[in-house]
Amino acid sequence: MKVAVVGKGGVGKTFIAGALSRLIREGGYEVIAIDADPSMNLYLELGVKPEVFKKVIPLCENKALIKERTKVGGLDENYPVFNLNPYVADIVEGYAVETPEGIKLLILGTVTGAAKGCMCPANALLRALLRHVFRRVEATVIVDMEAGLEHLGRGTIEYVDVVLNILEPSIQSVETSLRIRSLVEELGVKKHLFIANKISNQEQEKFISDELSRHGFSLDLKIPYDERVRLSGLRPAGLTASLPPIELVAELKRRLYE
Ligand SMILES: Nc1ncnc2c1ncn2[C@@H]1O[C@H](COP(=O)(O)OP(=O)(O)OP(=O)(O)O)[C@@H](O)[C@H]1O
Ligand SMILES: [Mg+2]
């Protein structure tokens, strides 16, 4: 199963991607977690130590690898020629960090360049890698996406099986998620779930449900707000703490395998 976790900034994508990866891994599956957010903090939710993380070169900062794979060159420096279909089949094995629980974590980093959708060599490599893991790799893949929409273009996200569209009780978050929903539909993704996170009371849940139903949609799952998650996420207790938000992510996992 290939899963993308999307939504506005700060709604809880990284927390949910991390908890879901760990719960699926706990069930004995191979899991590849991909941190596609420039702020690169998924490692914390997966129990990777900061000392280990510090030594990792995010893929799009790995100039040597990018150069080797995309063969930047050409006669004119202003118009470099490079391969749009670089070899990526060995990247998970060679460059993923293994978490204490055996999840393979790939850290993509920030693609610099005028436009994120640009076809610079780093971007070509990342897109080829995502297409490869979505289409060719036999493992559960969970991608913690960057906030916003611009990267959700054609060429990668349509290959996922499920989009988890996370919302929090705010009109801005609902607006972003509705725009994501239209895009996801345009791209023909098979399964989409609206997940309300950080819900503290019925009024907040009703707000989100009402906004979605005005557009003909309904809420698929709600995850409660819990101060312990805000303060320390999944560390240090990991999944052993019986936190209501983690129980709800476990419910989400069951729905994904239905
Ligand atoms: N159910 C919850 N209850 C309480 N706090 C939560 C909950 N879910 C997430 N949080 C907290 O909200 C903050 C933002 O969560 P997180 O980093 O997962 O969001 P994000 O969508 O990945 O943000 P960004 O767009 O910045 O990457 C964190 O402090 C996190 O611990
Ligand atoms: Mg995040």
The enclosing domain of 167 has a CATH number of 3.40.50.300
pTM for the structure as a whole: 0.93
Q: Is 59 helix (H, G, I), strand (E, B) or coil?
A: helix
pLDDT tens string 26-44: 999 999 999 999 889 999 9
pLDDT over 60 at 116, yes or no: no
More reliable by pLDDT, 101 or 239: 101
| Burial of residue 216, with CB atoms counted within 10 A of its CB: 0-12 exposed, 13-18 middle, 19 or more buried | exposed
With cut-offs at 50, 70 and 90, classify the pLDDT of residue 247.
Answer: very high
Domain count across the chain: 1
**pLDDT single digits (tens) 63-97:** 899 888 887 665 566 666 677 788 999 999 999 99
pLDDT at 157: 83
pLDDT value, residue 18: 96
Domain that holds residue 146: 2-256
Ligand having the closest approach to the CA of 249: 1
Using a 6 Å CB cutoff, which residues line ligand 1? 7, 9-15, 37, 39, 147, 197-198, 223, 225-226, 229-230, 233, 245
Tell me the torsion sign for CA atoms 60, 66, 69, 75: positive
